[in-house]
A and B are shown apart, each in its own frame.
Chain A
């Protein structure tokens, strides 16, 4: 069972703009892939579909074997606990400490405070921010804030890690550092999908690439055999 499967997924917004058309692909468990494309190609929409932040107009989205688009809203929180997300604007809360930001998914999931504290320290350690617990995220640099966001995304040990332009605001060196961090999570079994338009970085790192062009998907191929990828074949005739 693949970690993620998109099956003929289209998404159009009211007003007729089609963000995704007939996108199909699979991500195997433990796979590491990039999602690229120009601004507005539909990268964010694709990620949001996996968290039921959006629902597809057509087709089906599966995460960990569960169909996301038909999932009852009462089940959505439990889906989101399995998926760590990192945003370009990192979505940290500046009215509380780094510790409280990172611990939030654990408190929500009902962890005991002692266990939560241990995991928060482990997560901060993994992003190189041990000792930053009592700081306010607003005092931190862009790269550090991004790493706090990553720590929050991985603190609950998600099976799937999604990142939307995680290096968007960072210089090349920091970007590479962040990418290496994501690779380390893949090495311990996490499925990772990173949306980015930083082509140079992707070229240096290799790995599978899913390329979105005006809502249609082209797959660069992958080390894993992850089944038919209809998006590639259908890519040409969908734009109107």
Chain B
């Protein structure tokens, strides 16, 4: 914004006779600042009232802004939830401990009880070489071919389930400990799918940003266009105000506030839409989680994200108005 609008000093030596009822023409700096602040307040309230008392003209703009915000907002909320969920998965990756083929079943049983007593281990299960072969025979359909083998090629496996709350680095440390056991051939941590999930989440996040940027551009255009119409509807007023000494800042002000309010109302409506969406989805999600034995709950948009959404919307509205005002106002001269 430019400097406060203020009357320029009058030449003191003008030969003027005293005028009835006239007091000094000068205004102190404090009064100017007060006047300026009051002017802002007045314009802010006036433009807001204009929007709220005549909503029909701008309701489409609000809705377009709200929907443009709700789409990335909802995707953001979904990603937020997925990454929370994947953080839980990280710790729950089970590991398969392959024993050397020479290890006997009773030795394996000893190991089993030792591993079970280790820190961070929730559950262990032993699959002997015979069981593994039987399982493989059943699932692969290679029954007779397997009979040709001179001996069972499969090792015994101990499946270790770490505790749910165990951080990932502790899970990896546990795997390393088990790998160093003399009877252990190899340990496989089942994390590949998690890596894939994370890559997918990162990709989705990028997509949300790109979509958000496009929709933000859409908001700029919509607000800009609405402000353009509103400028066109007030050409006479702008001419008259410029004629009686309005600065460009003064003329811009109501339009910039209008843009700001568009953004704010759009942001609030988008909050409502997101809350409705959350209420509709969170019930089924809880049911689904319950089926998996989890107490997982769908998180609503965080307070921080909601604030960013609203402030971002206001900024976009203001920028859209600014863009329109800069393009159209200078053409209107008395």
* Same complex: yes
Q: Which residues of A contact B (CB under 8 A)?
A: 29-30, 51, 53, 64-65, 74, 77-82, 85, 91-93, 95, 104-105, 107-113, 118, 122, 152, 156-157, 159, 187-190
Chain B positions within 8 Å of A85 at CB level = 243-244
Known: A109-B5, A189-B19. 6 other contacts (CB 8 A): A53-B334, A77-B242, A77-B247, A78-B245, A82-B8, A91-B236
CB distance from A29 to the nearest CB of B (A): 6
- A152 and B6 contact, Cβ closer than 8 Å, known pairs A110-B35, A110-B36, A111-B27: no
Closest to B246 in A: A108
Q: Which of A78, A92, A187 is most buried by chain B, counting CB atoms within 10 A of its CB?
A: A78
Closest to A185 in B: B19
Chain A positions within 8 Å of B255 at CB level = none
- A104 and B241 contact, Cβ closer than 8 Å, known pairs A64-B11, A157-B19, A189-B14: yes
Closest to A65 in B: B11
> Which among A78, A79, A111, A122 is the interface contact of B21 at CB below 8 angstroms?
A122
Closest to B247 in A: A77
Q: 8 Å CB contacts to A: which residues of B305-334? A: 333-334
Q: 8 Å CB contacts to A: which residues of B223-268? A: 236-237, 239-248, 250
Chain A positions within 8 Å of B32 at CB level = 110
Tell me, in angstroms, the Cα distance from A152 to B241 when the chains sit together: 11
Chain A positions within 8 Å of B250 at CB level = 77, 108
CB distance from B294 to the nearest CB of A (A): 62
- A80 and B245 contact, Cβ closer than 8 Å, known pairs A53-B333, A93-B240: yes
Would you call A51 and B243 a contact (CB within 8 A)? yes
Judge if B196 is at the interface, Cβ distance under 8 Å.
no
CB distance from B213 to the nearest CB of A (A): 35
> Which among B39, B236, B248 is the interface contact of A107 at CB below 8 angstroms?
B39
Chain A positions within 8 Å of B6 at CB level = 109-110
Chain B positions within 8 Å of A107 at CB level = 39
- A29 and B237 contact, Cβ closer than 8 Å, known pairs A78-B8, A108-B5: no
Tell me, in angstroms, the Cα distance from A172 to B127 when the chains sit together: 116
Interface residues on B, range: 35 or more
Judge if B84 is at the interface, Cβ distance under 8 Å.
no
Chain A interface helix/strand/loop/mixed: loop
CB distance from B324 to the nearest CB of A (A): 20
Chain B interface helix/strand/loop/mixed: loop
Chain B positions within 8 Å of A112 at CB level = 31, 34-35, 38
Chain A positions within 8 Å of B19 at CB level = 157, 188-189
CB distance from A26 to the nearest CB of B (A): 15
Judge if B25 is at the interface, Cβ distance under 8 Å.
yes
Tell me, in angstroms, the Cα distance from A61 to B168 when the chains sit together: 81
CB distance from A117 to the nearest CB of B (A): 13
CB distance from A165 to the nearest CB of B (A): 16
Would you call B241 and A108 a contact (CB within 8 A)? yes
A selection of 7 A-B contacts at a CB cut-off of 8 Å is A81-B244, A82-B10, A91-B236, A93-B237, A108-B5, A108-B245, A188-B19
Q: 8 Å CB contacts to A: which residues of B6-41? A: 6-8, 10-11, 14-17, 19, 21-22, 25, 27, 31-32, 34-36, 38-39
Closest to A96 in B: B237
Would you call A81 and B16 a contact (CB within 8 A)? no
Chain B positions within 8 Å of A93 at CB level = 236-237, 240
Judge if B4 is at the interface, Cβ distance under 8 Å.
yes
Would you call B239 and A156 a contact (CB within 8 A)? no
Would you call A77 and B245 a contact (CB within 8 A)? yes
Tell me, in angstroms, the Cα distance from A190 to B25 when the chains sit together: 14
Would you call A91 and B35 a contact (CB within 8 A)? no
Would you call A29 and B7 a contact (CB within 8 A)? no
> Which among B2, B7, B239, B248 is the interface contact of A109 at CB below 8 angstroms?
B7
Would you call B14 and A156 a contact (CB within 8 A)? no
Tell me, in angstroms, the Cα distance from A95 to B242 when the chains sit together: 17
Would you call B22 and A157 a contact (CB within 8 A)? yes
Chain B positions within 8 Å of A91 at CB level = 236, 239-240, 243
> Which among A80, A105, A187, A189 is the interface contact of B15 at CB below 8 angstroms?
A189
Would you call A108 and B244 a contact (CB within 8 A)? yes
- A110 and B245 contact, Cβ closer than 8 Å, known pairs A53-B333, A93-B236: no
CB distance from B134 to the nearest CB of A (A): 90
Tell me, in angstroms, the Cα distance from A190 to B16 when the chains sit together: 7
CB distance from A25 to the nearest CB of B (A): 20
Chain B positions within 8 Å of A29 at CB level = 14-15
Chain B positions within 8 Å of A80 at CB level = 242-245
Chain A positions within 8 Å of B240 at CB level = 91-93, 104
Closest to B25 in A: A157
Would you call B245 and A109 a contact (CB within 8 A)? yes
By Cβ-Cβ distance, the 10 closest A-B pairs, closest first, are A189-B16, A81-B245, A110-B35, A80-B245, A78-B8, A105-B244, A109-B7, A77-B247, A77-B245, A188-B19
